[in-house]
Amino acid sequence: SSIPHSIQYRGQTAFITTSIGRSFHVYDAEKINLLFVGPHFDHDVVSVLSIGDETFASTGGRVVVCRRGKRVCELEAVSRGEINSLVQFGDHVLGISEDNTVVIWDRNTRELFTEIEFERESFAVTALVHPSTYVNKIVIGSSQGTMQVWNIQSRRCLYEFKTMGSGITCMVQSPVIDVLALGLLDGRILLHNVKQDRAVMQLAQEDRVTALSFRTDDVPMMATANSEGDVALWDLDNKRLMHVLQNAHDGVISSVDFMVGQPLLITSSADNSIKEWLFDGNDGIPRLLRSRTGHFAPPQMIRYHGDDGRHLLSAGRDQTLRFFSVFRDAQNTELSQGSLERESRVRHARMSALRFPAVTQFASNTAMSRDWDDVVSCHQGSRDAHSWSVERKSLGKYTLESSDSSIVRAVAISACGNFGFLGLASGVIEMANMQSGLSRRTFVGHTKAVTGVHTDACNLRVYSTSLDGTLRIWDFAT
Distances (CA, A) of 220 to 138, 183, 213: 25, 18, 11
Q: For position 341, what pLDDT does the model report?
A: 75
Q: How many CB atoms lie within 10 A of CB 317?
A: 14
Alpha-carbon dihedral 29, 30, 31, 37, rounded to 10 degrees: -40
Pairing of strands 439-443, 299-304: unpaired
CA dist., res. 145 & res. 162, Å (int):
8
- Taking only the tens place, the pLDDT of each residue in 195-227 is 999 999 999 998 899 999 999 988 999 999 999
Burial 148-184 (b: 16+ CB within 10 A, else e): bbbebeeeeeeeebeebebbbbbbbbbeeebbbbbbb
Closest Cα to residue 445, out of 422, 420, 426? Answer: 426
Instruction: Report DSSP letters for 227-238, one per residue.
Output: TTS-EEEEETTT
CB-based contacts of 45: which residues, under 8 Å, 6+ apart?
Answer: 1, 3, 19, 20, 21, 22, 23, 24, 38, 57, 58, 59
- Taking only the tens place, the pLDDT of each residue in 380-426 is 999 999 999 999 999 999 899 888 889 999 999 999 889 999 999 99
Mean pLDDT of 371-387: 92
Which helix (H) or strand (E) element contains residue 206? none
Q: How many CB atoms lie within 10 A of CB 54?
A: 16
235-243 contacts at long range (C-beta below 8 A, 24 or more positions apart)? 235/284, 236/201, 239/201, 239/203, 241/203, 241/205, 242/284, 242/285, 243/284, 243/285
pLDDT interval class at 308 (50, 70, 90): confident
pLDDT higher than threshold 80 for residue 350: no
